[in-house]
Every structure is written in C-alpha cells, then in structure tokens.
Chains A and B, each alone.
Chain A
Amino acid sequence: MKSRLMAAAAVSAAALAAVAGCSSSSSTTGSNSGSGSSSGSVTLHLFGADYGAGTTNVSTTTFWNQVATAFHKKYPNITVDVSTVNWNAYPDKVKALIQNQQYPDILEGSAAPPYAAENLIYPTSQIISQSTLSNLVPKFLNDTQYNGTAYGVPWTTSTRALCYNKAMFSKAGLSSPPTTWAQLQSDAAAIKSKTGNVGFGLPLGSEEAQAESLLWFLGNGGGYLSSSGSYDINSAQNIATMNFLKSFAASGDTEPGAGSANRTDLWNSFAEGKIGMVNCSPAIVPIVKLKGAVSTSDLGVTAIAGKNGPLTQTLGVHDDIVAFKSGGHAAQIKLFLDFAYQDQWQLAFNNDYDLLPATQSGDQAFGQQNPVFSQYMTNIANSVNYPAKANWTTVENQIKQTMGQVVTGSPSSILGAIQQTASTASS
C-alpha cells in the first residue's frame, strides 16, 4: 500500500512539473506587437472586426489589406499586419488577447474607456494629426473621452430609424407611419388584423437588447445616464417604458417571444415581408435588396416613435479604433491612421457596409453619393451614444442577457439589478 502511495506521489510530481514548466512560460508572454525593429522597419499589428462580405463583396480583411498595401507603397519601411474576426466571436477573442496581454498595435471595433482606465492606450492626440482630428465628427469623438481626454478615434458610425413596409401599411389602411407610442400600438394591431403579419418586430434578445432598450428609453425622456452623467437605469421613466413594452408584447401585436428575439432574425423577417415595422439602421438596406420581397420604393424610413412624438435624438453607434502603448509605435500608428482616414477609404468602407463615415468630409461626400441614407445622416448631429464608462461592457452584457425578461417578469427588479451592477462594478 505504501509503495502505491509513493507511486502516486511520483506521478503527481511529474505531472505538476510539466504543468509548472508550461504555465511559467506562458505568464511571461508579453505583447507580440512591433516585432522587427531592425534598421527602422516596423510591423504594426491591426486587429479588427469582420463586418461580413459587404454589398460589394469586399471582406473586411481584404479592405484593410488594400489600405495596408497602399500604405506600404508610400512608407516602405512600415508593414501593417491585418487580422479580423467576425462580430459573434469578436468580444471573446479581444478579451482573450487582453487577458493574455497580447495587445495589438491597432484595435478596431472596441470602445476606449475600459482600456484608458487601465492606462493601456494612447490618447487620440498622439495617434492622429491635428488635421485628421479636426475632420472627425465631434459628437462621436467626445464619446471616446475618459477623464476629459479623448482616447479613441471613431472609425465608422450608424444611427437608427424606424423602417416600415409601405405596401403593408396601405393594405392595412394606414396612410402614414406612427409618431407616438399609442399610434404605434394601434398601427401594429391594424397590420396584424388586416394582413395577418406581425405588426412590430421587437428584438429584446441577447444580440442587441442594449440598443433596442435605449431607443425606447429615449422615447420617454429616459436613457442609461442621468443628466449628471451617472448611471440611472432604473429611473421611473425607464421602468414605465419597460412596463409599456411588457404590455405591448403581451397584446400579441409584436412577434411572439419578443424577450428572446434577435435583431438579425427580425430584419430578415422584415425583408421577407413578414413584419410591418422594425427599428433599423442603414445596414438593413442590403438585406432587403437581397431578399427581394420588399421593393426599395416600399421601404419607408422615418424617425423613431417616442411616447408623445417622434424622437429628436436617436441612438448613434460608433466603432472606434484604439492604439495600445505596449508596442511603442505611436509615430508609425499616426502615419497609418492619417492615411486610412482619407475620404477614399472612408467612402469605400462605408459604401461596402452601408454604415456612415466618421469624418465630416466623408459624411458630406457619402451623403451626396447615397441620398437614400439622408434620414440616418440627419440623425447624426442629435444622436445619443452608449455611456462612455469603463465598466460599460459589464453593464451592456448584463442588459443583453437579462433585459428580455421584462416581457414576462418584473421590469423594476430587472432594471434594478442592472443598475446595481452598473453602480458597483469597477469603473
């Protein structure tokens, strides 16, 4: 018996030795950015989100490689190495990179405050020149601020509006889109009874519950932040808003299972002509074109309905670029970003993905090329964005996972739990 014990001890010791050898080597892995600094040649690592194939069939990796190749021609001793990952896997992949301290030089698609809070990224002024900086749309640039300093560079933006099916509206005997919640409800009921289709598509599932919730909060004078800038998620207006949504979903005029429905599925259903109204962004246009069931002339775009009138402020979303300090390549990053923010690249990217440029000159040129996006572009100036707080990711994930329950549960306790996380999680 004793020899068995010793055998077991020997085996465990061998196993632990193997484990210790492996774990110690991994914990000293520093950032792998900026290798090859001999004789002035620098490699920058760019990690971004993959937005898909796009309407012109140019994938995001291809796009960035095009920029990198053109950039390399101009600055032969700077190479940009590109990798992207699709949006579903993006949060986990970025989290893994950060947790392993494998910081890329340039990261596209993440918000700045969490990294700024830990002093991991450069301020905006160090990574783009003054002329590029003054060309950015100020509204979005201000959102990258942490403690008064801007840390990120907005790369692409979009705003939200209300999309409705004009043909379905006339079939239901409705002449104009709704502007108040009461009208929205009655219009949805009319669509359901007269055409048998879903009146309003309400996506409170885990894909983007934070966006849909904010659009409704804004309609009742609420939002995620109070006027003083601190979290106020369970304010009286927000709870009233969610109570309204609960009764709206219960009335049967939305799609069944609104608490777990996702935006992508509802946009697909809308494009197939099965839903009358849905909150949308410009990215719905290629889906509608692809499905072919709703013609472009039947696609109506208008301001989102608020409680007592259309929203004057809508949700504006921006995907930012941040640059990590660990590689120490601020100068080269500045050259690359100044190059990438030229109109030519902003227009190419945003035309491909039906998003909106982040630069003023880009917006002007884009508006001239795409008059169908005029409603969205008007919304930019008055858009409200997600809170620029360091713990927003935590709060956002809890909203995504739990907001859907307001449809069947208690809005005040769900919003209360989210507010609890927001005020206690480190920020």
Chain B
Amino acid sequence: MSNIVTAGPATAGRTQDQPPGRRQRKYPRVRAILAPLPWIGPAIVLIGLVVIWPIVVMFQTSFQNITADGINIGSAGWRNFSGVLNNANLPGILLRTVIWVAVVVGATMLISLGLAQLFNQRFPGRTVVRWALIAPWAASVMMTALIFRWMLDPNNGAINILLHQLGIVHGFNTNQSAWLANPDSAMAWMIVVAVFVSVPFTTYVLLAGLQTIPGELYEAARVDGASLWETYRRITLPLLRPAFFIGLVINLMNVFNSFPIIWEMTQGGPGYETSTSTIFMYNLKAINVGQSAAMSIVNFAIVLVIVFAFLRMNRRTLQEAR
C-alpha cells in the first residue's frame, strides 16, 4: 500500500491528497499553521513575558498619574506626554543625544575600519593582539565606566597622575583635574569610554566582512595598476558594505540606549547637562513615574524610526549579503 503522496504546486495550504478511505481532516490550513506551535511555543511565551508584557505595561503606565512615592492616583490622559515634550531641558538633551550617537558611532566605525584592516594583515603576534582586543568587549561596561571614573578622580586618579607627570595637568583638586565636573570635558571622556567598549565588536564584524572578499580581486587590481587608495575605495569598501551596515545599525541602537557609562560617570549631571534621552528617562522616574514611561515611549519610537529607516534605505545592500 503506497502512502506516497505528492503535493502539487496548487495545493499550498491544503494538505496532501488523502489516500482513499481516510477521513478528511477539517481546517487543514489552520492545522498546518498551528503544527509547529509546540516547538516554538516556549520561545513565544518567553518573548511574550520578557518583551511584550513590559511594553504593554509601559504604555499603560504612561497614561497614569503616579506620584514619586509610587501611589497611583488615577489617569493622567495625555498630560504625561505633554509634560515631557514641554520640559525645558528636553531640547538640550535631544541635541546632546544626537551628538553622542553621531560622534561615538562615527568614531567607532572609522577606528574599526582601520583596526580590521590591520588585523587582516599577517604580522607576528597577530593572534595575541586579536585576543587582546576582546578584553574591552568582554568586561562589563559598568565596571569599565566605574574604573574610568576613579581614574579621573580630581585628587588621586591614575589618569590625572599620569597627565600631571606629563605636565598637562598642573595641580590636583583643581577645576582642570575635575574632568567629570565640567559637562564638556565629561562628555568628551564618556565618548572615549563608549568608543573604547564599542570598537572590539565592530572590528570583528568588519574583519569577518573583510575575510569574505576574495583575494583574486586584489590581485586583479594590482595587475591593473590601481593605487592603494583606489583599491580600498573601489573594491574593499563596496564589498564591505553589508558588514559595515550591520555594525552601523547595531551600534546605533546600542549607543542610543547606552546607560551604564553616563550613569556611572556623571549620572547625567550636573542637572541634566550630560544626560542623553535614556538617562533622562531614568532620572524622570524619581520625579514622575508616568512621565518616565512617556519618555520611554518617545525613546522607543526614536529607536524604531532609526532602525526601520536604516533598514529600508539599505534594503538592497542587505539583500546582497544573504
């Protein structure tokens, strides 16, 4: 008795033709869709619990009036959103966020391009250097930020001692040595730390991309007499585009959401002068929980817009990578 059945192209959604004598199953299409549910069910539940439920509660909270003591005193309508969007500190914070993301991501991508190119060459000790680059990535970002904060201590931080010996810093416990007290120098140092922790991952993404470029192309370019810069611009960069954009999108999301670095080094202060929108959202929690939820939604929307805009613009590039 042959049970071999064939599914023709026109039977999408319909189960195979049943052998004669079998009862027809009802709702074959629905059954086909629900069939994998037992296998992906646990993952769906997990996503529901960890991702979807907090988002739902966040939306609910943003319409509530919750005092700083945690007491819910009723609905706030749209007042939380108007409160956040009319906050006098917000324009400065948004501008600072744009600068923070642009500078950190820009510097990271540039430095990683160079480092990836370097790591692609053979030189003695390459393995050791490649492994060493993993350290800033593997270390907890909060720990790195804490250590940098102590190294920048105005009185006896290691960086200040070094700079003092080099003659750049003239005295301890002065305005010059209190790097994190001045918003501008604090932002500069935090950008340095952010680039420091982002470069390893990006370098490895770009290195992987570089290694997919076939060597024959370079040989052909050499034979044709192309200069180094022309080779880089015409062969390496275009072929590196998929890996570059993956690194770019991931860095954009991570840097926008970055919390530990700024929190540990300045807590967004003094006032909100070193806050990005993520830090501001967290600080708002102490003043008005509903407004903090509203700010979370604003941040969420910004991230979604950035990511979708990016993915759309580079649809073709990413399709090439498949």
Residues of A at the B interface (CB closer than 8 Å) are 2-3, 6-7, 10-11, 14-16, 18-19, 22-23, 91, 94-99, 110, 114-115, 118, 120, 198, 204-206, 252, 255-261, 269, 274, 390-391, 393-394, 397-398, 400-402, 404-405, 407-409, 414, 417, 421, 425-426
Contact = CB atoms under 8 A, between A and B. Distances in A.
The 3 closest A-B pairs by CB, nearest first: A257-B181, A405-B271, A259-B270
Contacts of B88: 417
20 contacts: A6-B29, A15-B44, A15-B47, A18-B49, A95-B70, A97-B70, A98-B71, A99-B71, A99-B72, A114-B69, A206-B267, A252-B174, A252-B175, A259-B181, A260-B266, A261-B181, A393-B67, A401-B272, A402-B271, A405-B270
Given A3-B32, A402-B271, A426 B73 contact: yes
Contacts of B30: 6
Contacts of A421: 287
Interface of B: 12-13, 29-30, 32-34, 37, 40-41, 44-45, 47-49, 52-53, 56-57, 65-73, 88, 154-155, 173-175, 177-178, 180-183, 266-273, 283, 286-289
B49 A22 contact: yes
A53 to B, nearest CB: 22
Q: Chain A contact residues: over half helix, strand or loop, or mixed?
A: helix
A11 B43 CA distance: 11
Contacts of A198: 173
Contacts of A257: 154, 175, 178, 180-182, 270
A23 B71 contact: no
A1 to B, nearest CB: 10
Given A10-B34, A405-B273, A18 B44 contact: yes
A256 B173 contact: yes
B65 A426 contact: yes
A394 B178 contact: no
A408 B270 contact: yes
Contacts of A408: 183, 270, 273
Nearest to B88: A417
A397 to B, nearest CB: 4
A393 B71 CA distance: 12
Given A14-B37, A23-B53, A405-B271, A269 B68 contact: no
Contact of A393 (B33, B52, B68, B271): B68
Nearest to B69: A114
Q: Which of B69, B173, B272, B286 has the most A CB atoms < 10 Å from its CB?
A: B69
A10 B37 contact: yes
B57 A398 contact: no
B57 A23 contact: yes
Contact of A114 (B12, B71, B183, B266): B71
Nearest to A401: B283
Contacts of A414: 271
A98 B40 CA distance: 37
B70 A401 contact: no
A162 to B, nearest CB: 21
Contacts of A401: 268-269, 271-272, 283, 286-287
A334 B66 CA distance: 31
A274 B155 contact: yes
B56 A23 contact: yes
Contacts of B154: 255-257
A307 to B, nearest CB: 24
B32 A256 contact: no
A115 B71 CA distance: 8
Contacts of A15: 44-45, 47-48, 52
A22 B44 CA distance: 14
Contacts of B67: 114, 390-391, 393-394, 425-426
A394 B287 contact: yes
Given A394-B67, A407-B270, A118 B73 contact: yes
Contacts of B40: 11
A110 B68 CA distance: 12
Nearest to B280: A401
Contacts of A99: 66, 70-72, 289
Contacts of A409: 271
B148 to A, nearest CB: 16
Contacts of A260: 180-181, 266-267, 269-270
B53 A19 contact: yes
Nearest to B45: A18
A259 B71 contact: no
A392 to B, nearest CB: 9
B32 A393 contact: no
B156 to A, nearest CB: 10
A401 B263 CA distance: 13
A327 B10 CA distance: 67
Contacts of A256: 154, 173-175, 177-178, 181
Q: Which of B40, B273, B287, B289 has the most A CB atoms < 10 Å from its CB?
A: B287
A206 to B, nearest CB: 6
Given A114-B69, A198-B173, 18 more contacts: A7-B33, A14-B48, A15-B47, A18-B48, A19-B52, A99-B289, A118-B73, A120-B71, A255-B173, A394-B67, A401-B268, A404-B270, A405-B273, A408-B183, A414-B271, A417-B88, A425-B67, A425-B288
Contact of B41 (A14, A94, A115, A426): A14
Nearest to A7: B33
B48 A16 contact: yes
A206 B269 contact: yes
Contacts of A97: 70
Nearest to B51: A15
A390 B73 CA distance: 13
B53 A22 contact: yes
A426 B75 CA distance: 13
Nearest to B53: A19
Contacts of A115: 69, 71
Contacts of B56: 19, 23
A66 to B, nearest CB: 30
A402 B178 contact: no
Contacts of B183: 408
B72 A269 contact: no
B271 A118 contact: no
Contacts of B66: 99
B181 A6 contact: no
A128 B268 CA distance: 43
Contacts of A11: 40, 44
A3 B33 contact: yes
Contact of B70 (A96, A391, A405): A96
Contacts of A22: 49, 53
